[in-house]
A and B are shown apart, each in its own frame.
Chain A
Amino acid sequence: MSASPRPSPAQAQTQARLDRLRGRALPVNHNARTIAALAANPGCSRRALMDAAGVDKQQVATHVGFPAPFGQSQFAIARGNAFEAQVKEGGAAQLLTLLREHLGLDVGQAHYHDLNDVGGNEAALVRHGRTRQLLTGAALSAPGEATGTMFDHPMLRLAVGGRHAYLEPDLIALQYQGRFHVVEIKSFAIIDGQADPAKVAAAAIQSAVYVHALRDLLGGDQGRVHYETILVAPRDFSSQPTVSTVDVRRQLTVLRRQLDRIASVEGLLDLYPAELTFDLDPDPGGRPQRPPGELAGAIGQVTANYTPDCLATCDLCFLCRDEAAGTTGALGRSVRTDLGGVEHAGQVLGLAAGTLPPSQERAEIAAQLTRAARLRTELLGTQLLGTQLLNTDLAT
């Protein structure tokens, strides 16, 4: 957990490999959202490797002809920024009032520090060091006093796949009575005490990422950072903020387990040739010159673990979906489960038609598929389709 900037030779070697993977582009920072997405699909080597190297996945996906379907409306951005600015105005006066009135926190007063800029030096490492220094000091000072301290934009980092990733600082760390609370400001509305469950769930996992990283920063002591995080959001249809607490213990457990499962990046790197790179070969104007086919070939060397959930979270989703065509997993996890885990559509149809002799462990699902196919034929009067495709598919 040392902040020492001097890496070991092994670390330096890993870093060199990752830099080569990324090529000439600047590394893309992680944020709580990308960590949450990565942790949601820990079996995806492609994403783990690209994220560890800080590859700009959006640019890569665009260059190979599968631009990501994500965009953010200026209206949404403007609304979010205006709301955040309003809550933080005057030393976060509105926030302080909310904490007192709704959460019963006896915060008589609170200091507000914005860590967004440390003496003009914006390097993540420097900012992280400064954050550590301030927060560690604050945590030690005078517990019991009715004075809280709010640290806005603390620069946190997280070990992902064996490498430290800095997180976009989009939170306030509230220190109060010797403990920290993560405060997240979101612009989705809480109407009659209820909000869009998907948005609350996403906010909770992001808060959990911050709690995890904050605990890490404070030396791993679980008790120093509260598992109840504070969500600030507009109330009903107004722009007035309301506040509620979110217990993220479950999300923390999931996150820890998933982060552990993400293979250490050294182990992953060993699987691929040293010259592998996702470099875009930009011309002086920054326009990618690398032949797209060649880049696609490089991407194809690293295994992906596509599920339809990726469509909501990953910049590479359209590319991976294209690759996954013909698999049952591309139709959804539940479809694959229903089909007994049989991986390829062609195999499913072969088992159903009886043209593919089932292995011992597939005897049961094969019998069920045969009966299901027979029922469909009986009731719809159609023959099972696709059997002519089987011979080509069976090899896979």
Chain B
Amino acid sequence: MKPLNLLALLLFIGGVVWALTRSERSVRAIQQAYLSVMSPFIRSGAGTDSAARLFLRETRHSRELETELAFLRPELGRLGFYEQRCRELEQENAQLREALDFKKNSKFEVIAARVTRRYPSPHSQTVEIDAGTRRGVRPQMPVLSSEGLVGRIESVAPDGEHASVLLLSDEKCQVPAWVQGSSEEGILTGQRGFSGDPMLRLRFLTTQAAVRPGQRVYTSGRGGVFPADVSLGEIQSVEKGALDSEALVRPSVNFPDLGAVFVVLSAAQSPK
């Protein structure tokens, strides 16, 4: 070993022995001096440390939130479905209550039925109901709702459980009608290809018809198919022609939301 290295080793060992034999008081003084010099760095380091901890906690927290979100998303979808179902049931309940009231107060002998299907054809406005021949339903019977006339039975299913209803909004469904507050009578029909909110047409009014928007239109009972004085709608506008006049009528029944209906089995006919 080189003499310089040996000397350095001996000095190092001496230094280590000196350090190891320091009293507690001396060590405390050394530590205090060290800490007083390093205190600005220690303070900054504490800030960095807490910032790093906060960042990691936030990261962990956001990961936990992500997991929770992934878990809750399908749950939310499921609850949304239940809520929708609840609303439907609530609506159905309200309709059935209304129907019950209607049936109690009705002057006709009626049976209640539910609309089970809508035929999607743009050329015919028909729906299917869950009442058929077994419950006494026959073709041509009028169908009502609590709001007014819905249409008439077009056909009954062979199973006896269902029937098809031709809606008032179909042009094939022609109803003798009269206008409230006037002596005007005409034929109310639907319009071909009318989608969405259907409008009806009251034809064969006289050229001098004293009708105006806002007047209500009712069944006249002529022809014996539909009972008299059932609400049909409200006049929106009047078009005067050379030979006759026509009026555009907004129907009383909300056809897109049709739920419960009533088939009139027998009615006291009293034509207007």
Q: Do A and B bind each other?
A: no
Interface, chain B (partner A; CB < 8 A): none
